Amino acid sequence: MSIKVKMFIKLPYIIKLNEGKDYKFSFTFDEFEMFDLIMINNEDNEDNEDYPLNSCSNIVIEAIYKECDYLDYKKRRISSVDKSINEYIIELPEREINNIFNVVNIRIQEILNYLRNKSNMFWIESFPVKPICYSFGNEIEFNFYSPNAKLSNNIKQTIKYTDYYITSNSLNEINSVKDDIFTNFNDNKNNVEMFSLYLNKAEKSLYERDFEDFIIYCSISVESFIRRYIGLLEPNGDIIFNRISASNYDYLDQYYNVLLKYLKGKSLKELDGSAFTHLKRMYNLRNSIMHNGIINDVVLKKVGLSHLSCINFEECKKILYNAKKSFLLIGKL
């Protein structure tokens, strides 16, 4: 037997929709007989003046979980005129609730990771889905039912809209959710590279004007990308490669210039000197944050930003642009 779970989740961000309607997507997972995600169109909200057109701030998860038998637990009948219809609300112990939430959480993360990469909505992040959750200001309403229970989607939405991102000009084109956006989900859901994940975190921090977090996340992405790229090309038993790799100095020069030149015949400096300069600037700013806790005037002067009192949006945007450009240039070698 199994058990049905329904969750209403208020997102800590908005999702752009192609049309002013609800979007329903069905997924196939081993743990579930069914797993549906519904993106609720904000225009249905009573306070829709607080929402942009064609957007979603609330999702509904409706699933039937295989590994829990609703008959094993205390239940009460859902009010019905016809008493022959056996529909119940199930009262689960905390242990079983946590088990179900853990599995649902993993699957929602896969869905959101895929959606972020497919749509370029860099602000989409996985968030903790727990029985009691106030992370990022979102909250979850949920209940458990017998698998044959017919559930209504008429759920009152009360979250207010705050738009941090879509009114800004992203460096990539943002693709709205369409009916076919998850067509290749089962083939690609696990292909989320670490550098891509942190590049999205960096871009989100940029538009939230959290510039120190931007520098840190962008640095992680830049290092993760090149270490993976070089690692896939590593020649076994190559004495010169091993000697260069073992050297302890600036990783930007070590990987983006010396090792890249040795393995592919071109360094980033040769491909695009400006891009390398901006990555070097980011690296020095990152070191200042990590070692001193601040970005001071000395560091700004060192990286050629002495005209600024602190790092700002435009300078960080240049760094992000050049990080993305570097990944594209190197990927074509």
**pLDDT tens readout for residues 168-210:** 444 567 888 999 999 888 765 455 578 888 998 898 888 888 8
Domain co-membership, 261 together with 148: no
Q: Which domain holds residue 230?
A: 194-331
Q: What is the pLDDT of residue 135?
A: 39
134 domain residue, yes or no: yes
Cβ neighbours, 10 Å, residue 200: 22
pTM: 0.67
In DSSP terms, which residues pair with 25 in a beta bridge?
37
Burial 251-281 (b: 16+ CB within 10 A, else e): ebbbbbbbbbebbeeebbbebbeebbbbbbb
Residue ranges of alpha helices (H) inside the chain are: 94-119, 185-188, 194-207, 211-233, 239-246, 251, 260-264, 268-271, 273-292, 297-302, 313-331
pLDDT exceeds 50 at position 16? yes
Domain co-membership, 156 together with 262: no
Domain co-membership, 20 together with 155: yes
Mean pLDDT of 231-259: 88
pLDDT band at residue 255, thresholds of 50, 70 and 90?
very high
158 domain residue, yes or no: yes
pLDDT exceeds 80 at position 40? yes
Domain co-membership, 127 together with 215: no
Mean pLDDT of 115-131: 82
Domain co-membership, 84 together with 19: yes
Domain co-membership, 118 together with 224: no
pLDDT exceeds 60 at position 324? yes
Domain co-membership, 63 together with 18: yes
**Is-contact 199 218, C-beta < 8 A?**
yes
Mean pLDDT of 293-305: 83
Q: What is the pLDDT of residue 78?
A: 78
185 domain residue, yes or no: no
Domain co-membership, 77 together with 224: no
Which one of 130-134, 162-166, 272-276 scores highest in mean pLDDT?
Answer: 272-276
186 domain residue, yes or no: no
177 domain residue, yes or no: no
**263-to-153, 277, 285 alpha-carbon distances in Å:** 57, 21, 28
Domain co-membership, 20 together with 97: yes
End-of-domain residue from the set 125, 140, 171? 171
For the chain, give the percent of residues with pLDDT over 70: 83
Domain co-membership, 214 together with 320: yes
End-to-end CA distance of the chain: 54
Domain count, the chain: 2
β-pair type (140-145, 3-16): antiparallel
Q: What is the pLDDT of residue 134?
A: 38
187 domain residue, yes or no: no
Residue ranges of alpha helices (H) inside 234-272 are: 239-246, 251, 260-264, 268-271
Domain co-membership, 99 together with 55: yes
Q: Which of 41-45, 52-56, 70-74, 316-320 has the lowest mean pLDDT?
A: 41-45
Mean pLDDT of 278-297: 87
Q: What is the pLDDT of residue 192?
A: 59
Domain co-membership, 8 together with 151: yes
10 domain residue, yes or no: yes
C-alpha to C-alpha distance for 10 and 303, rounded to whole angstroms: 42
Q: Which two tokens stand for residue 217?
A: 């996340």
End-of-domain residue from the set 107, 136, 171? 171
The backbone torsions φ and ψ at residue 16, rounded to the nearest 5 degrees and listed phi first, read -75, 130
183 domain residue, yes or no: no
